[in-house]
Each structure stands twice: as structure tokens, then as C-alpha cells.
């Protein structure tokens, strides 16, 4: 039975799904208890409040999976999790629509001074002249980060008949053209945008991406929206720009520190601020709970059809699983034959699609190392373990083999000896070993 601990609040439907699957689930009332209880659990589910530090991960002696109920994993030490072979999964699509809509809620609230007008009217003061807003029609929206949320923001901006320009260093021009967006550098985008919105993760490269020098390049009076991640905007520079009028207003749902220690930016009269509620809709919370429960259960069961943050390859769908099983079995078979110090591992692939080359390589490395090192080796850390031990991993891709539509060869080298095995898939996608040390044969390998 899998044991799962939840340290932040999760919708009841997600908790029930875990229990229906036979897992033992503990919901902590006080997350301060987590370091003491984590050694007894196979999986941990968090939201944004729990900090999954290196120390906490090291305490998790049984820990196999960390599930982040949401998109960002800023509060998870992913590098340490990878080192320890702990899979990190999230719910990457659950709150896309909610975050998209909240972006426009803030943009419209800023453009029409909705919060200030509402607050004054509640004081029984009727003042129309103080609230001359601006239309979105015909304005230029600059989008930083044209991922799934940025793309959805684009579609809605076009419904308002706005022009959309974007900065995304990882998107090619052809992809941008398909959604009718002009792609440009950030420095070129800034002076053209009447409003700019951020939908990018927080990384070393994006921290304070909008700093004082870049704010100075903005069109004077531009609106700044951030429903993405706190920290991508230099908040002190933004406050100074609001005071000077360089920035006409800011709509902020996320902050560098949450809750903030300084409230000066939030109190500014031209700021509309919300407490990180972009995903706080009933629909999004239900989707997040459903997705993360399914992801954690699938990860615990060994499936790779998951939204994994730290797998060294992108899952290629259900069609890849028979190939991964075959590669792992071949690695184990070669390892059982070798029994010497392993210095190099070569994987030869015939007729294999490009998107499956990396997963198959990792599976073969995992299979070769497990007999020597046990179950601490998994898809997350296999290549790192090999590298740390000075094992050279080489892969070669060949055209289709004359005798087989697909063929995988695994060769282990060390102490002057080599052991080579090769296998393919039968018509029913069952693994078959067809070559050992150059001898042609055929049998179905057993075990994992």
C-alpha cells in the first residue's frame, strides 16, 4: 500500500481519489510536523506554502514522488530531488483558463479604474470625472512568455481587437505566425506595448526580468500585468516608475515574497492587487486535485505517462512503454552477463523514432545499473549515477535493420571484456531477445 502525506490543503475530491485507489492518505493539520513524519511516506503532495527543501527530501527515506498541486515548482528543490531519484510531478494544465481570465480581470480593472471607482461609490461619493479610463480596442499588448497561458491570452486579446506582440526565446517564428503574433526581442517589445503581461516561470534568467533599465524603455504610461510568477518584476523599480508616471498602472497577483513584508507597492493608488488567486476558481481547484492525484498514483505505479518536471526526457506517449521495457530488460540481461567493472555502455538503435531515442537510452542505462546498485536507480537519476561513476554512455542511431522493423542493442564494456545483447518487439509488442554475443536466437525475457 502506498503511503501519501498531504501538507497543504487539497480539494476533497482529490483526496478521495487517492483513497479509492487503495493509498493510505494523511492530511497534516500543521506542516511543521512534516520533517518528522516524511521518512514514513512514499509520496508528498504540496501546494505553494510548503517548502520542499533539500533537507526535507533527504529525510524522506522512502520518498519516491513529490506532487506539486499547481504549475510552478519554485518551492521544490528539483535538483536535489533529481539527485535522490525522486520524481517531481505537477498539474500543468489545471489552472490555465483561470489564470488566463484573471489576467484580463486585472487588465480591465486597471484600464477602467474599477476598484477605485467601486471603493469611492461605497463611500456614497458620486464622482465620474475622476475615472476617465481607456479602451483596449486598438491597443498593443506585449506578452512575455507565449506558452499555454500566453497563447490563451493572445486569443482573448484578439477578441478585444488588440494587436499582440510577444517575447519568448524558446518559441520559433513559425509557431508564432500560426497564431498571428509578431515575435520580437524584449527590448524591442517594450517601447511598442500599451500593456505588457508576464507568463513565464521564475528562473535565474527571468528573475527581475523587468528591471529599472527595461522599465525606462516602456512606452510611458504603459500598464504592467503579472499573473505569472512573483520575482520576474523588480518591485522597487516598478514602484518608482508608478510614482514617476513612467508606468501608468500595475495589476499584480503574484509577488517576490508572499505575503509581502512591504505593502508600499500594493497600497499605491494605481495598483490593482490580488493575493495570488489566479487559480482560485472552483473549476481550477477541482481540476488541480484530479490531475495531481492521478499523476502521483501513476508515478508511484511506475508509469511514465505523467507531467514530470525532472525526467531527463519528454514522455513519448503510450507507444514508448514497450520500447522502454525492452531496453531496460536488455540492460539487465547484459549486466547479468557482464559481472565486471562497468566502464562504458553503448546503445545501438535501428528504426527508432527520434523522440524515443533519449527515453530508450535512459531505460537501458537504468536496466544495466539496477543489478549492481539496486532500486535506488530510476529514470530520474540513472544517467547522473552513470556519470558520477565515470561510466561512458554512447548511443548510435542506424537506419532500419534488414531483419527487424525495430532493433535495440546494448553493449557493456569493462576490464577488457564486452557483453552484447539485442532485442526487438513481437507483433503484440512483447519484448524478444534475438541476439547474444552475435548468436542469433529468440526468447521472451522474464522479470524486471
Please say whether the dihedral angle defined by the alpha carbons of residues 192, 198, 204 and 205, taken in this order, is positive or negative.
negative
Under 8 Å between Cβ of 365 and 319: no
**Catalytic-labelled residue, pool 17, 102, 214, 229:** 229
**Catalytic-labelled residue, pool 258, 283, 430, 442:** 258
Instruction: State the cell numbers at 319.
Output: 507507444
Triad 427, 429, 435: Cα angle to 5°: 85
Burial (Cβ within 10 Å: 0-12, 13-18, ≥19) of residue 21 = middle
Helix (H) or strand (E) holding 45: strand 43-46
Q: In what order do the strands lie in the sheet with 247-252?
A: 182-183, 163-167, 140-144, 195-198, 222-226, 247-252, 271-273
Is residue 268 part of the annotated active site? The answer reads no
Under 8 Å between Cβ of 328 and 359: no
Under 8 Å between Cβ of 250 and 197: no
Task: Name the packing angle between helices 96-111 and 148-159 (round to 10°).
Answer: 40
CA distance 414 to 380: 24
Q: What is the DSSP string of 183-212?
A: E--HHHHGGG-SEEEE-----TTTTTSB-H
Is residue 442 part of the annotated active site? The answer reads no
Closest to 404 measured CA to CA, from 426, 420, 384, 383: 426
Under 8 Å between Cβ of 148 and 170: no
Under 8 Å between Cβ of 406 and 412: no
Closest to 156 measured CA to CA, from 106, 104, 108, 109: 104
Is residue 11 part of the annotated active site? The answer reads no
Under 8 Å between Cβ of 222 and 245: no
Catalytic sites, residue numbers: 229, 258, 276
Amino acid at each position: 500500500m502506498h503511503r501519501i502525506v498531504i501538507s497543504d490543503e487539497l480539494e476533497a475530491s482529490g483526496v478521495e481519489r487517492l483513497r479509492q485507489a487503495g493509498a493510505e492518505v494523511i492530511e497534516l493539520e500543521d506542516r511543521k510536523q512534516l520533517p518528522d513524519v516524511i521518512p514514513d511516506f512514499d509520496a508528498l503532495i504540496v501546494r505553494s506554502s510548503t517548502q520542499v527543501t533539500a533537507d526535507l527530501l533527504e529525510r524522506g527515506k522512502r520518498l519516491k514522488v513529490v506532487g506539486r498541486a499547481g504549475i510552478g515548482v519554485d518551492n521544490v528543490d528539483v535538483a536535489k530531488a533529481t539527485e535522490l531519484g525522486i520524481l517531481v510531478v505537477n498539474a500543468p494544465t489545471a489552472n490555465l483558463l483561470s489564470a488566463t481570465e484573471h489576467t484580463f480581470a486585472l487588465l480591465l480593472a486597471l484600464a477602467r479604474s474599477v476598484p477605485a471607482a467601486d471603493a469611492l461609490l461605497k463611500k456614497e461619493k458620486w464622482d465620474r470625472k475622476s475615472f476617465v479610463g481607456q479602451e483596449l480596442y486598438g491597443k498593443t499588448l506585449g506578452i512575455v512568455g507565449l506558452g499555454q497561458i500566453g497563447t490563451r491570452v493572445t486569443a482573448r486579446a484578439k477578441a478585444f481587437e488588440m494587436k499582440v506582440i510577444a517575447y519568448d526565446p524558446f518559441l520559433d517564428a513559425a509557431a508564432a505566425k500560426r497564431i498571428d503574433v509578431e515575435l520580437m526581442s524584449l527590448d524591442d517589445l517594450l517601447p511598442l506595448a500599451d500593456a505588457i503581461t508576464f507568463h513565464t516561470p521564475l528562473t535565474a534568467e527571468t528573475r527581475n526580468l523587468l528591471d529599472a533599465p527595461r522599465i525606462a524603455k516602456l512606452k510611458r504610461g504603459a500598464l504592467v500585468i503579472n499573473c505569472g510568477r512573483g520575482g520576474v518584476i523588480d518591485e522597487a523599480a516598478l514602484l518608482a516608475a508608478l510614482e514617476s508616471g513612467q508606468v501608468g498602472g500595475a495589476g499584480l497577483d503574484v509577488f517576490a515574497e508572499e505575503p509581502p513584508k512591504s505593502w508600499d507597492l500594493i497600497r499605491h493608488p494605481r495598483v490593482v492587487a490580488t493575493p495570488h488567486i489566479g487559480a482560485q476558481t472552483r473549476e481550477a481547484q477541482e481540476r488541480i486535485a484530479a490531475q495531481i492525484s492521478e499523476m502521483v498514483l501513476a508515478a508511484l505505479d511506475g508509469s511514465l505517462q505523467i507531467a514530470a518536471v525532472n525526467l531527463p526526457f519528454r514522455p513519448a506517449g503510450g507507444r514508448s512503454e514497450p520500447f522502454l521495457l525492452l531496453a531496460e530488460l536488455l540492460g539487465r540481461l547484459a549486466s547479468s552477463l557482464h559481472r565486471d567493472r562497468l566502464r562504458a555502455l553503448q546503445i545501438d538503435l535501428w528504426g527508432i523514432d527520434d523522440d524515443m531515442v533519449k527515453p530508450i537510452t535512459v531505460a537501458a542505462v537504468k536496466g544495466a545499473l539496477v543489478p549492481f546498485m539496486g532500486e535506488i536507480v530510476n529514470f530520474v537519476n540513472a544517467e547522473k549515477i552513470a556519470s558520477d561513476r565515470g561510466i561512458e554512455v554512447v548511443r548510435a542511431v542506424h537506419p532500419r535493420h534488414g531483419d527487424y522493423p525495430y532493433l535495440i542493442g546494448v553493449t557493456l564494456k569493462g576490464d577488457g571484456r564486452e557483453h552484447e545483447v539485442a532485442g526487438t518487439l513481437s507483433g503484440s509488442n512483447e519484448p524478444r531477445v534475438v541476439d547474444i554475443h552475435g548468436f542469433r536466437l529468440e526468447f521472451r525475457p522474464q522479470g524486471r
